[in-house]
Amino acid sequence: MENIPGTNILDEVTQGDYKFGFYTDIENDTAPRGLTEDTIRFISAKKEEPEWMLASRLKAFRHWLTLKEPEWAHVHYPAINYQNIIYYAAPKKKEYASLDEIDPELLETFNKLGISLDEQKKLTGVAVDAVIDSVSVKTTFQDTLGKHGVIFCSFSEAVRNHPELIQKYMGSVVPYTDNYFAALNSAVFSDGSFCFIPKGVRCPLELSTYFRINAANTGQFERTLIVAEDSSYVSYMEGCTAPMRDENQLHAAIVEIVAMDDAEVKYSTVQNWYPGDKNGLGGVYNFVTKRGLCKGRNSKISWTQVETGSAITWKYPSCVLMGDNSVGEFYSVAVTNHYQQADTGTKMIHIGKNTRSTIISKGISAGKSNNSYRGLVKILPAAANSRNFSQCDSLLLGDRCGAHTFPYIQARNETSIVEHEATTSKISEDQLFYCKQRGIDTEKAIGLIVNGYAKEVLNKLPMEFAVEAQKLLAITLEGSVG
Amino acid sequence: MLLNIKNLHVAINGKEIIKGLNLGVNKGEVHAIMGPNGTGKSTLAAAITGREGYEITQGEIWFKGKNIIGMPAEERANEGIFLSFQYPVEIPGVSMTNFMRTALNAQREYQGLPSVPAGEFLKLMEEKKNLVEIHAKLTNRSVNEGFSGGEKKKNEIFQMAMLQPSLAILDETDSGLDIDALKVVAKGVNELRSDDNAFIVITHYQRLLDFIVPDFVHVLFDGKIVKTGGKNLALELEEKGYEWIKEQYLATSEL
């Protein structure tokens, strides 16, 4: 057989369109630009918070002032001017008793995003909390959930209605001292979702929060807190989009999960913040701290993420496996195209006996993007017979992108087993030609091959998300090859 | 004429491999292309199917009355040109069923037809699987992943049966096949033969041609067809090897 010559099919980078880049013109209530103690008092006052909440914010703010922005991630961006950000923006009218009261523009926004807030028309059985800029505008199905004792509401509501739960659990997994962005979030967070599943309850609906950045020059700082009591179960999904803008926008969120004895929490994310244009202009800086605490025996926390958006992603959804026999899982597909940068992975901290963790990470790089997996598996001395299995695969499209793997393993227990596998592959010309020879065009072929590559992870997503995620993968890589 | 190749010149990285090839194929015909290694047999297949990197420096390829030079590979496929690969690639995670449905629907879209309904598609799969004696489980696996050499080749013929091309090029389909698999593959091909389609069978050995009987045998040497005959030419080549053809060719080209 003759040598297959070097061809240039993977060389051309063209425009792949972002489908959610519209802006909704609604009246906003915003804080003045910049960040001082006054900003924090302003936010707290706007939200009519109790004094303990304000005190907690101020403590975090003072701590943040002493910190330096971390530089260890494999990402590059110009210095962020934290005084040039608007830390609070909200559609003027804040709370809605029924859909009729919601600004039609706002409803239209969610319709465009394919999110139905109308409970009557809803067939899929997913309860939704919709957060636009700094506030939650609507949480659906609260009555149905209430009958089972499940609390699913905006974070602000929870602060008012369930202060004892918030005070007990907020910051118990991600303290404000955790890192730079966690401290910032703890000071200025505006809204988010709170979810509480009481003992023995299997949550009857999939819970879902959609986050949307709308206003310009605004940062989004939401907090999510999920508490699963003994023997309960919940599957939670999170989706996010933002308008196309030339300037970068900061998103620094915190997600905390607590799972008690025999509880299971499945957390799925489809992250599609605006990635910037094909020349690397604009896009969201996605600096997020997500951590789950398997506090009880036999508890299980499972993170599944499909990361296609953001100019820069810095996030490591982690599990602290404290309870004996607890299980942590991390399934990730991270796609970068054009000038996107992603430094993402997980941390599995084994503390309890017989704890197990699984890490499946699939990175896909195209264009001139950089995609890094960074993961830590830490086995503490008490974690007898614990096990970890990690598999980190990278797929490269073209020859101007980068894939990097930074695995850290610290095993301090002799009875534990840690396995790590890694592969790097390229979509081969042979695979593409094979598809094309069967009549499948290049874009469809890439979609097919990439979805096949990511199948192990996509299979872990709830049905409602899996279809969306598959489409998103194809759209993100649209135009990544000529 | 279904396929008409006129004075074709093909270069790879500036090096000319096909040097003025002429070939005409009518519907209902089977053409065998034989020749020693490195004479351009697979390059010819690549040039007809539109693989990138194969530069056509001169000549024309007419298919169904269209000059297809410059037409993207997937369009040529949808026009009805099928290549049974010498080395079918693996596509991990993509099930044969999904792959086949995507391919069939791409073809139907090209023809302006709606997607094939799921039930009808599965029935078609069943029917064609039997044709090449493919194990039912094979179609649930990822494309060619973990297939044996024989299974890969059967799978190519299965795809051909699904897509019903008007021109099928079999590139060294017999390589790596034992006699039983060879018979199954040949049986599949023979059942698909009709007055409406044509085959180009690229092979090294005469063996496959015992089962797929050609109407014409062409010998490719130094990038050209240097001899054409009936099915008996294949037997002659089997007996005498390629040396005499080489000598004949070199003798005439020195004149």
ipTM: 0.96
Mean pLDDT of A230-256: 83
pLDDT higher at A395 or A320: A320
Question: Which of the following CATH numbers is that of domain B3-225: 3.40.50.20, 3.40.50.300, 3.20.20.70, 3.40.50.1000?
Answer: 3.40.50.300
Q: What per-residue confidence (pLDDT) applies to A179?
A: 94
What confidence tens digit (pLDDT) does each residue in A421-461 have?
Answer: 998 888 888 999 999 999 999 988 988 998 888 888 888 88
Residue type, B122: L
A243 band by pLDDT with thresholds 50, 70 and 90? low
A363 Cα to chain B: minimum distance (Å): 15
Contact residues on chain B for A446, CB-CB shorter than 8 A: none
**What pLDDT, on the 0 to 100 scale, is given for residue A17?**
58
Whether the Cβ atoms of residue A272 and residue A241 lie closer than 8 Å to each other = yes
What count of CB pairs under 8 Å joins A to B? 94
**Closest residue on chain B to A439 (Cα):** B74
Structure confidence at residue A164 as a pLDDT band (50, 70, 90):
very high
Helix, strand and coil percent figures for chain B, each rounded to 5? 40, 30, 30
- CB neighbours (10 Å) of residue A15? 11
Distance CA A316, CA A309 (A): 16
Q: pLDDT band at A19, cuts 50/70/90?
A: low
Query: Which chain B residues touch A if contact means CB-CB below 8 Å?
Result: 12-13, 17, 38, 40, 42-43, 49-54, 72-74, 77-78, 82-83, 85-89, 91-94, 98-99, 102-103, 106-107, 110, 142, 159, 163
According to the model, what pLDDT value does residue A68 have?
92
Written as one letter, the residue type at A424 is T
Q: What is the identity of the amino acid at A206? A: E
Nearest Cα neighbor of A308 from A263, A347, A265, A276 is A276
pLDDT band at A143 (very low <50, low <70, confident <90, very high): confident
Cross-chain Cβ contact A452/B77 below 8 Å? no
What pLDDT digit, counting tens, does each position of A55-78 carry?
999 999 999 999 999 888 888 888
Tally Cβ neighbours within 10 Å of residue B186. Answer: 22
**pLDDT score, position A120:** 41
Task: For residue A430, list chain B residues with Cβ-Cβ distance below 8 A.
Answer: 87, 89
Instruction: For chain A, give the mean pLDDT.
Output: 83
Q: Which residue has the tokens 């709606």?
A: B114
Give the pLDDT score at A27: 65
Chain B hits for A456, CB-CB cut-off 8 Å, are 93
Contact B77 A7 (CB under 8 A): no
The number of beta carbons lying within 10 Å of the beta carbon of residue A416 is 20
Task: Name the helix (H) or strand (E) containing A470.
Answer: helix A463-476
Residues of B in Cβ contact (< 8 Å) with A431: 89, 91
pLDDT at A8 over 50: no
Extract the residue ranges of chain B whose pLDDT is less than 50. none
The pLDDT assigned to A237 comes to 86
B23 vs A128, residue with greater confidence = B23
**A chain contacts of residue B40, beta-carbon cutoff 8 Å:** 2
Question: Are B53 and A451 within 8 A, CB to CB?
Answer: no
- Residue B234: φ, ψ to 5°: -65, -40
Q: Mean pLDDT: which of A320-329, A362-371, A404-413, A460-469 is highest? A: A320-329
* Identity of residue B253: S
Lowest mean pLDDT among A227-236, A276-285, A318-327: A276-285
Using a CB-CB distance cutoff of 8 angstroms, which residues of chain A are in contact with residue B38? 2
Q: Nearest residue of A to residue B204 by CA position?
A: A1
Residues contacting B130, CB < 8 A, separation 6+: none
Other CB atoms within a 10 A radius of the CB of residue A279 amount to 10
Asked whether residue A284 carries a pLDDT value surpassing 90, the answer given is no
Q: Check residue A318 and give its pLDDT.
A: 97
pLDDT the model gives residue A4:
35
Q: Is B234 helix (H, G, I), strand (E, B) or coil?
A: helix
Tell me the pLDDT band of A2, cut-offs 50, 70 and 90: very low
Amino acid at residue number B64: K
Say if residue A285's pLDDT is above 90: no
What is the sign of the dihedral through the CA atoms of A333, A9, A337 and B98?
negative
Segment A17-38 shows an average pLDDT of: 73
